[in-house]
Amino acid sequence: MKKLSLVDKGFLTSENRETPMHVASLGLYTLPEGADEQQFLHTLAGNVRNAQALLPPFGDRLRLGRLGLAGAAYWEPDAAMDMDYHVRHSALPKPGRYRELFNLTSRLHGTLLERSRPLWEMHVIEGLQNRQFAVYTKTHHAAVDGARSIHISRSMLSTDPNHVLEESPLSLQSWQRYKDALRSGKQIVHSDEELRNVADVLKSTFDSSTNLVRALSAFSRTWAGRGGALSLPHQQVPISSLNHSIHGARRFVAQSWPFSRIEAIGKAFDGTFNDAVLAMCSGALRQYLKTHAELPEQPLKSMVPVSLRKEGDLESGNAIAAISANLATDVADPTRRIQAIIASVRAGKAFYAGMSSKEIELVSAVLQAPTLLLLPLGLMARLPPYNVAISNVPGIRETMYWNGARMDGSYPLSIVTDGMAMNITLITYDQNVDFGIVACRKSVPQVQRFIDYMEEALIELEDAAGIGSPKQPRPLTPRKPKTKRKAGIKRPSTASISAKPKTTTKRKTKVKAKPKNPQ
């Protein structure tokens, strides 16, 4: 049995009908050339179910003592494991557009996981156009974080379109083979540079007492108004529709952009890729709230998760903390806005600089203590710690296949809570950045328009930096293969999964992007 950490139990304690605490992903795949859809997916689902021993947490259920979550809690093997319950096969109604897929995904993401069983589900979804299928997988956040999810996904996939898994990708045998391959150097090992979120992976260089005293001093100065660019939870967080009490229904939309396009913005302003992501989301949030006539005078604040996972650590459930980033939505000029964002993120990094992962976990727990008190009292909407969550989960930087089916995109879905009715999560895959946006359907209306506003914000930043040319976000529809394969076993094309956007030599003064896929 494995004992749950304080962070793990926090996700379980905070959960209720309106606030499910699971994270998920929606993977898009293209069937191998010549494969029958129903037969291929039936075989794929059967392969997932066929496991004698499952890797944690897929074979473990929650075990509580007499004190419930107030006492010790453990993960223990489920003696009555029912794989047919956890792995499900669904079909979209015709015509199988992304609109129908997103509606189904929204419903699946709004339902609670059954706590008497292992806390995960996988839905294999057929019926999409262009010979695509989708796989929606959700797992409770008490069991996994983003970095571990990437490793689990990576163990299921291969760069070889001819590779076929003989055992279940969720089996302990498959997981052990993946770990052995990592240690022997046969698989790509993600460096600390890749397995981090907005903040850098932090190293311990000072004595713990020195770090904690320094953190307490910075905390006091910030609340006294002398913290400079440093932002803290609950400090001067404005109220908008993003911060109302939420309901159980969810709305999910997704889109992809070229990684190089966003990265160029960060470099142009002497920042990072993550700074550019925050600026892109900030511009979109500013336009969304202006459209609904409720842009606050104070800047919105974002929760930015930070990975504390050490290199080579594949087993930890959650290894995360968070910083508070000023999104500068009160600034109209995009140059000044991204400069303010960069300064805020750097101040957040400096606040944690030199601390060990344990010290960061301790300080983060102190900073989040008011949230843990406000949430059960129903006061989060009145005193929110942040306005929105924006999380970057570095993923796989090459084209991958699952038993010959090419992965076209991987779109993350995360958690919304009272006081934070929208969550923006992104993951890098191949040459692109896949954004998944989840919002409370009632509190945040017309969230599908947010995709348009993100493209407009990116163009605005490109104009301010004097780089690039107008480009549409990468459509979700894959490009047809340019060449035919020889006779024999037919496998999917290794060509790019999307058509290259057209470019023009002259930029129009105002460009409003229209993604090709229906929202």
Q: Residue 232 contacts by C-beta under 8 Å, 6 or more apart in sequence?
A: 219, 222, 223, 324, 367
Q: What are 78's two structure tokens?
A: 């489920």
Distance (Å, whole) CA 439 – CA 454: 15
Residue holding tokens 């929208």?
A: 422
Distance (Å, whole) CA 438 – CA 447: 9
Cβ(60)–Cβ(78) below 8 Å:
yes
Distance (Å, whole) CA 359 – CA 227: 21
Q: Which of 86, 123, 140, 141 is catalytic?
A: 141
Query: What percent of the chain is helix, strand and coil (3-state, nearest 5)?
Result: 30, 25, 45
Give the Å distances, CA to CA, from 13 to 8, 301, 372, 375. 9, 25, 9, 10
Known active-site residue 190: no
Read off φ and ψ for residue 59, nearest 5 degrees: -105, 5
Distance (Å, whole) CA 367 – CA 346: 18
Give SS3 for 345.
helix
Q: Which helix (H) or strand (E) holds 401?
A: strand 401-402
Torsion from C-alpha of 274, 279, 280, 281, nearest 10 degrees: 90
Cβ(252)–Cβ(105) below 8 Å:
yes
Give SS3 for 208.
helix
Distance (Å, whole) CA 397 – CA 376: 41
Distance (Å, whole) CA 398 – CA 187: 12
For 138-188, the DSSP string reads: EEETTT--HHHHHHHHHHH-BS-TT---SS-TTBHHHHHHHHHHHHHTSSP
Distance (Å, whole) CA 25 – CA 135: 8
Give the Å distances, CA to CA, from 149 to 30, 434, 458. 22, 15, 28
> What are the residue numbers of the active site?
141
